[in-house]
Amino acid sequence: MNYPQNLDGLRWTKDATTRAGYLIFDRPPLNVISFAARAQIAQLIAAMDEDNDIRVIVIRGAGDIGGFLKVPRDGMHDLAWNVAAPERAKKPVIAAIEKWAMGVAFELALACDFRLVTESSQLALPEVNLGMTPGSGGAVRIAHLAGLTRAKEMIMRGRRLSAREALDWGLVTEVVPEGKLDEAIGCWVNDLAARPAIALTGLKRILNSTYDTPLHVGLELEGQIFEKLRPSPEFRHGVESFLAKKKPDFTQF
């Protein structure tokens, strides 16, 4: 695996027991994500996606404003590609948000499969307050997830959402009590890591395509992936375990 070196405000680790890989924002006090770190985030996620010791990826932490003015013209038109790394990953990616996620941190979380937040979390794309628009896919993803009317009201006013409002809108997966985020991460990691990786990859591809393809194309993709996975050892093991009334162990594959 080609893990990047000389990380800019980032660090990573992996847990051999749970088989989780952790990408951690580590620039106190606000864990800002620099422009340079965006490419490193994409590289780290790609490396974890190819690491056989990792079955689930977790992103933790909470953007550098002044640095954006120093980048040459047309130097930032592709920001969404780096931030979309969790979406491209074959493995499930969890975003864990404590307190707040603003700007690119929220855009990165929106590209993940699951978003866990604490009760006091606040979420926003406040770029309009700087005379700018979101540039890393956040506006489009919120419109897809929450609907165009809600997206316009939130983003065009630069408004912050509470954790509960974001849950009601379908922007987050779970709201957990303060101090319980680590416990919630552990539950999600254990659950996903115990499931068949090949089926999760197929499901992620199917579900991520639903907003981009007509219904008949989505149905065709779902059928093709089903047929591709039908001869897999994971499926055979699952069926045999079911018939034997045993709990399947997909971690052996």
Q: Which residues fall within 8 angstroms of residue 146, CB to CB, at 6 or more apart?
A: 154, 169, 170, 171
Catalytic residue, chosen from 98, 119, 127, 165, is: 127
Q: Is 127 a catalytic residue?
A: yes
CATH code of the region 197-252: 1.10.12.10
pLDDT tens digits, 199-211: 999 999 999 999 8
The CA-atom distances, in angstroms, between 227 and each of 87, 179, 234, 249 are 23, 44, 13, 22
Every domain of the chain and the residues it spans: 10-193, 197-252
pLDDT of amino acid 242? 96
pLDDT attached to residue 211: 87
Q: Which of 50, 87, 107, 174 is catalytic?
A: 107
Return the CATH fold of 10-193: 2-enoyl-CoA Hydratase; Chain A, domain 1 (3.90.226)
The low-confidence residues of the chain, meaning pLDDT below 70, are 28-32, 62-79
Structure confidence by residue, pLDDT tens digits, 63-115: 333 433 444 454 445 568 889 999 999 999 999 998 888 998 899 999 999 99
- In angstroms, the CA 248 to CA 1 distance is 29
